Amino acid sequence: MANLSPFVYWSQTKQTLLLKVDLKDAKGAIADFSPVSVNFSANGHGARGVNAYKFELHFYALIDDENATFVVSDNKIELQIRKLEPEWWPRLVATPQKPHWLKIDFDRWRTEDDVEVEEKPRDVRQDYEKEYADLQKRELGYIKEKTKKVYMIFYNLAMFVGYLYIMVVMGVLYYRDGVDSIGKTYANVGNAFKFIQLLQYLEVMHPMFGYTKGSPVVPFFQVSGRNFILFLMIDMEPRMYAKPVVFCVFIIWSLVELVRYPYYLAQLLGREVGLLTWLRYTIWIPLYPMGILCEGIIVLRNIPYIEETKRFTVEMPNPWNITFDMVLFLKIYLMLLIIPGSYLVMSHMAKLRSKKLGKGRAKRQQHLHAD
């Protein structure tokens, strides 16, 4: 049975888009937004009676998908979207041909006064992405991927293999030697972990060069926080090598990455694996608190060692006339890690989980109107 699409009426201002979906008594509405598209589905009474309806739209330009919302009422569903850049669009969809069910909402229509909206030059390969891929496959026998995409696939695959190697080595040694292997964890996989953690700084550069979305600040602090524990708190203090907490933190870090990198690979390959998505946005619930606890224990265990060795501490007199108390710094770091740090990380992941796994996959508001 062919997919049924409801009538959709759209209007715009310079900053926003409004899509009105003509469905009455809608149930189970889902609007899945990305920066370039929206996938919508719901059950309700539309042009073909009571049925399951769905549609997909690829927008003319980028939208702010993080703040897109939709409102369900008795006789319609409204999708409220902000444009990423404030400008008037000559049309809603990327391609010049619009779907037959997409209409202009003349009751709300606004245009730029006395200025004709001119269409900017566009890349037809992006507007007709699926058709272009099919054409390539027929002509060449394969789809020619962009260099950036190929690099990101190999990067994520390499990182997954790296963390898998660490987990396999730790697992085999534990199976062979039992609890005796725990004290030898850093000796066995420490160098591999240091190499792969340094490699993660590439993730700071990816958004800088347009390989991924977002700011480089977030991955910088995430990678640097983990490397602070690995290099300064563990690697530079040999008495920490045999501590069981090192075994625990390596397991936790590796488990997080063994889910994260396959999820990114699936996204790059255009595959939606339900279990992988669920794990990506659920596994942090037990692992993040345990990771924060283990990192806190490592910092706490280092405090008496640093008091003894004075490592990283700068005392007077010195040519720079400054002092730095590493023990005090670690105590402050510990308080920031446990209280505001853990809250910020957990609340950020909770919002992402709600967006990806929530019933509406977008911020949803329910309005019930009595006729």
Q: How confident is the model at residue 283 (pLDDT cuts 50, 70, 90)?
A: very high
pTM of the full predicted structure?
Answer: 0.67
Burial 163-185 (b: 16+ CB within 10 A, else e): beebbeebeebbeeeeeebbebb
Read off the pLDDT of residues 13-62 as tens digits, 9 standing for 90 and up: 989 999 999 999 999 888 888 888 999 999 999 888 899 999 999 999 99
pLDDT at 256 over 90: yes
Query: For residues 67 and 190, what is the distance between their CA atoms, to the nearest angstrom?
Result: 42
Read off the pLDDT of residues 225-249 as tens digits, 9 standing for 90 and up: 999 999 999 999 999 999 999 999 9
Residue 295 catalytic?
yes
Residue 163 catalytic?
no
Closest CA to 78 of 22, 6, 12: 22
- The arithmetic mean of pLDDT across residues 138-155, rounded, is 71
Out of 60, 155, 257, 295, pick the active-site residue. 295
Out of 211, 288, 305, 307, pick the active-site residue. 288
Q: What is the pLDDT of residue 369?
A: 40
Domains of the chain: 8-104 (2.60.40.790), 138-309+320-346 (no CATH)
pLDDT at 11 over 80: yes
Query: In the predicted model, what is the mean pLDDT of the chain?
Result: 85
Over the Cα atoms of the chain, what is R_g? 26
- First and final CA of the chain: distance in angstroms? 34
